[in-house]
Amino acid sequence: MKVGVLTGGGDCPGLNAVIRSVVRKGVQEYAFDFVGVRDGWLGLLQDAVMPLDVPAVRGILPRGGTILGSSRTNPLKHEDGLRRVRDTLAAHGVDALVVIGGEDTLGVATELSGQGVPLVGVPKTIDNDVSGTDCTFGFNTAVGIATEAIDRLHTTAESHMRTLVVEVMGRHSGWIALHAGVAGGANVILIPERPFDIDQVCEQVKSRFKINYAPIVVAAEGAVPKEGQMFLKDQSLDEFGHVRLSGIGEWLAQEISERTGKDARTTVLGHVQRGGTPSPFDRWLATRFGLHAIDAVKDGDFGTMVALQGTRIVRHPLADATARTKLVDPSLYDEFEVFFG
């Protein structure tokens, strides 16, 4: 059997660990052959594939990014996209695909699976917003990076007695903001799942200054005020219809400064959360996902996604996993509200 491996969407720490484990087990245990698809779904549209064997994946476990490249390409938005995907697979004798991606990449995988393309999904995203799995790899690394940044910002905030607003990624889910905010001792945490009251935010900030403490506000990029609109610097859309979220941090800093009379600055962590070497946990989880994904291919259990549930790796229907975005449960947010108002 020949298996294609594809990484789509935004890059993510741990992608190479999945590629490595899929290829190593597939070759050594099942005698499969492999090809890597370049630049996500774009590679299947452009017939861009590369040989993939055990020597090609040596030493990539600790590397961030993906050796295969990635893109935010939706083949279903391109003329004859499905036919071109099938033609590329047929031209290289690919019998099945391992598709590693987030909600958009796996959403395409769900559509293609329904059209008869044999594939198995592996959930990745720093946003942790894929349903059916307790955790996606990449999330732990991103939280660690954001937490370290918050730790560092505490000291400079205290030195100048100013509010520092930290804008983190997560699109329409607040997992990174909540986890990093709690771990970093933030005083205000704003997530998309719960629109915020700017007056309450400013009152919380002022209460911290009263005890001679410089407050830290952590805001997910998709956070919105109760009676306002999402703040966007860029209105353009990608092929999945997503806007490029950014701007809430700067707006918050301006409002806080004007309403409290205290200086406020913004730090937008941006892509630094996605880059660099994966954490030990993400290497471990990505490796387990890869091992179980190639088992699913061997079993012919297509149209499924490997998922972490508790401590077990299970197979979850792709259609169910991509039917909705996994958001922060309000009860989880409420558990910590005593710490950040």
Q: What sign has the CA pseudo-torsion 83, 84, 87, 93?
A: negative
Binding-site residues from annotation for Mg(2+): 103
**Amino acid, res. 150:** I
pLDDT tens column, 153-168: 999 998 999 999 999 9
Please provide the distance, in angstroms rounded to a whole number, between the alpha carbons at the two ends of the chain. 56
- Distance from the Cα of residue 74 to its chain's centroid: 17
Q: Which two tokens stand for residue 225?
A: 């005020």
Distances (CA, A) of 213 to 148, 188, 261: 19, 13, 15
Residues marked as binding? Answer: 10, 103, 125-127, 162, 169-171, 221, 265, 271-274
Active site residues: 127
What is the sign of the dihedral through the CA atoms of 335, 175, 177 and 13?
positive
What's the DSSP call for residue 226?
Answer: T
Distance separating alpha carbons of residues 208 and 319, to the nearest angstrom: 47
To 10 degrees, the CA torsion angle through 283, 101, 24, 301? 120
Q: How far apart are CA 121 and CA 116, in angstroms?
A: 14
Confidence (pTM): 0.93
Question: What residue type is assigned to position 161 of the chain?
Answer: M
CA distances from 290 to 2, 14, 81, 106, 263 (A): 16, 10, 27, 15, 48
Higher pLDDT, 245 or 294: 294
Confidence at 46, pLDDT banded by 50, 70, 90: very high
Q: Which residues are annotated as a binding site for diphosphate?
A: 10
pLDDT of residue 235 exceeding 60, the answer is no
pLDDT in tens, 72-118: 999 999 999 999 999 999 999 999 999 999 999 999 999 999 999 99
